[in-house]
Structure 1
Amino acid sequence: MRERLCSKVGCAREAVSTLTFDYGDQMAAIGPLGAGGDPHAHDLCASHTERLSVPRGWVVVRHETLRV
Protein backbone atom coordinates (compact mmCIF):
# COMPACT_ATOMS: atom_id res chain seq x y z
CA MET A 1 0.00 0.00 0.00
CA ARG A 2 1.32 3.43 -0.91
CA GLU A 3 1.94 5.85 1.95
CA ARG A 4 -0.40 8.85 1.91
CA LEU A 5 1.24 12.21 2.46
CA CYS A 6 -0.07 15.49 3.84
CA SER A 7 -1.79 17.63 1.18
CA LYS A 8 -0.22 20.86 2.44
CA VAL A 9 2.30 22.30 -0.02
CA GLY A 10 5.86 21.56 1.04
CA CYS A 11 4.88 19.02 3.71
CA ALA A 12 6.23 15.51 3.29
CA ARG A 13 4.87 13.99 6.51
CA GLU A 14 2.55 10.99 6.58
CA ALA A 15 -1.17 11.82 6.56
CA VAL A 16 -3.23 10.82 9.61
CA SER A 17 -6.59 12.50 8.91
CA THR A 18 -8.85 13.63 6.08
CA LEU A 19 -10.42 17.09 5.82
CA THR A 20 -13.57 17.90 3.85
CA PHE A 21 -15.57 21.12 3.48
CA ASP A 22 -19.26 21.93 3.15
CA TYR A 23 -19.22 25.46 1.78
CA GLY A 24 -23.01 25.86 1.88
CA ASP A 25 -23.15 25.14 5.61
CA GLN A 26 -19.79 26.83 6.33
CA MET A 27 -18.47 23.66 7.94
CA ALA A 28 -15.20 21.74 7.87
CA ALA A 29 -15.10 18.09 8.93
CA ILE A 30 -11.92 16.32 9.93
CA GLY A 31 -11.61 12.68 10.87
CA PRO A 32 -9.71 9.45 10.27
CA LEU A 33 -8.16 8.90 6.85
CA GLY A 34 -10.86 8.47 4.25
CA ALA A 35 -10.90 5.78 1.59
CA GLY A 36 -8.99 8.03 -0.80
CA GLY A 37 -9.70 9.05 -4.35
CA ASP A 38 -12.04 11.93 -3.46
CA PRO A 39 -10.71 15.04 -5.24
CA HIS A 40 -12.52 17.26 -2.72
CA ALA A 41 -10.90 15.69 0.36
CA HIS A 42 -7.53 16.74 1.75
CA ASP A 43 -5.25 14.47 3.77
CA LEU A 44 -3.37 16.12 6.65
CA CYS A 45 -0.45 15.12 8.88
CA ALA A 46 -0.77 15.26 12.68
CA SER A 47 0.80 18.72 12.87
CA HIS A 48 -1.52 20.29 10.29
CA THR A 49 -4.52 18.50 11.82
CA GLU A 50 -3.78 20.11 15.20
CA ARG A 51 -3.24 23.57 13.70
CA LEU A 52 -6.32 23.55 11.46
CA SER A 53 -8.05 26.92 11.20
CA VAL A 54 -11.16 27.89 9.26
CA PRO A 55 -12.72 31.22 8.27
CA ARG A 56 -14.54 33.21 10.95
CA GLY A 57 -18.11 31.97 11.36
CA TRP A 58 -17.32 28.43 10.18
CA VAL A 59 -17.81 25.33 12.33
CA VAL A 60 -15.24 22.54 12.66
CA VAL A 61 -16.55 19.02 13.29
CA ARG A 62 -13.86 16.63 14.56
CA HIS A 63 -14.62 12.93 14.25
CA GLU A 64 -12.39 11.01 16.65
CA THR A 65 -11.83 7.27 16.63
CA LEU A 66 -12.07 5.32 19.86
CA ARG A 67 -8.71 4.23 21.24
CA VAL A 68 -8.75 0.91 23.04
Structure 2
Amino acid sequence: MSLPSGSTIGIIGGGQLGRMLAMAAARLGYRTVVLEPQPDCPAAQVANRQIAAAYDDTAALAELAAVSAV
Protein backbone atom coordinates (compact mmCIF):
# COMPACT_ATOMS: atom_id res chain seq x y z
CA MET A 1 0.00 0.00 0.00
CA SER A 2 1.29 3.44 -0.87
CA LEU A 3 0.13 6.43 1.15
CA PRO A 4 0.59 9.85 -0.48
CA SER A 5 2.65 12.39 1.44
CA GLY A 6 0.42 14.72 3.44
CA SER A 7 -2.09 11.98 4.25
CA THR A 8 -3.34 11.63 7.81
CA ILE A 9 -2.46 8.67 10.00
CA GLY A 10 -4.79 7.90 12.92
CA ILE A 11 -3.18 6.72 16.14
CA ILE A 12 -5.05 5.13 19.04
CA GLY A 13 -3.09 5.78 22.22
CA GLY A 14 -1.03 8.84 23.00
CA GLY A 15 1.77 7.38 25.09
CA GLN A 16 5.47 7.30 24.24
CA LEU A 17 5.01 4.84 21.35
CA GLY A 18 2.29 7.04 19.87
CA ARG A 19 4.64 10.02 20.20
CA MET A 20 7.45 8.17 18.41
CA LEU A 21 5.06 7.14 15.63
CA ALA A 22 3.81 10.73 15.23
CA MET A 23 7.38 12.04 15.07
CA ALA A 24 8.42 9.47 12.46
CA ALA A 25 5.29 10.18 10.41
CA ALA A 26 6.00 13.93 10.47
CA ARG A 27 9.55 13.35 9.20
CA LEU A 28 8.06 11.44 6.27
CA GLY A 29 5.56 14.20 5.48
CA TYR A 30 2.43 12.75 7.07
CA ARG A 31 -0.09 14.36 9.41
CA THR A 32 -1.24 12.56 12.56
CA VAL A 33 -4.35 12.52 14.72
CA VAL A 34 -4.19 10.81 18.10
CA LEU A 35 -7.13 9.43 20.10
CA GLU A 36 -6.25 9.57 23.80
CA PRO A 37 -8.28 10.33 26.93
CA GLN A 38 -5.49 12.36 28.62
CA PRO A 39 -5.12 15.86 27.14
CA ASP A 40 -1.48 16.18 28.21
CA CYS A 41 -0.27 12.89 26.73
CA PRO A 42 3.18 12.69 25.09
CA ALA A 43 1.82 12.22 21.54
CA ALA A 44 -0.37 15.34 21.78
CA GLN A 45 2.80 17.43 21.93
CA VAL A 46 3.80 16.38 18.40
CA ALA A 47 0.59 15.25 16.67
CA ASN A 48 -1.29 17.62 14.40
CA ARG A 49 -4.51 17.02 16.33
CA GLN A 50 -5.78 15.16 19.37
CA ILE A 51 -9.23 13.74 19.96
CA ALA A 52 -9.54 13.68 23.76
CA ALA A 53 -11.98 10.85 24.41
CA ALA A 54 -12.13 7.37 25.87
CA TYR A 55 -10.86 4.51 23.72
CA ASP A 56 -14.34 2.94 23.68
CA ASP A 57 -16.13 6.17 22.69
CA THR A 58 -17.79 5.12 19.43
CA ALA A 59 -18.35 8.71 18.25
CA ALA A 60 -14.67 9.55 18.81
CA LEU A 61 -13.57 6.37 17.01
CA ALA A 62 -15.85 7.25 14.08
CA GLU A 63 -14.36 10.75 13.99
CA LEU A 64 -10.83 9.32 14.00
CA ALA A 65 -11.73 6.99 11.13
CA ALA A 66 -13.34 9.84 9.18
CA VAL A 67 -10.28 12.10 9.35
CA SER A 68 -7.63 9.40 8.83
CA ALA A 69 -6.46 7.75 5.63
CA VAL A 70 -5.11 4.84 7.64
TM over 0.5: no
Taking structure 1 as the reference length, the TM-score comes to 0.32
Relative to total residues, which structure has the larger strand share, 1 or 2? 1
Which of 1 and 2 has greater Rg?
1
Relative to total residues, which structure has the larger helix share, 1 or 2? 2
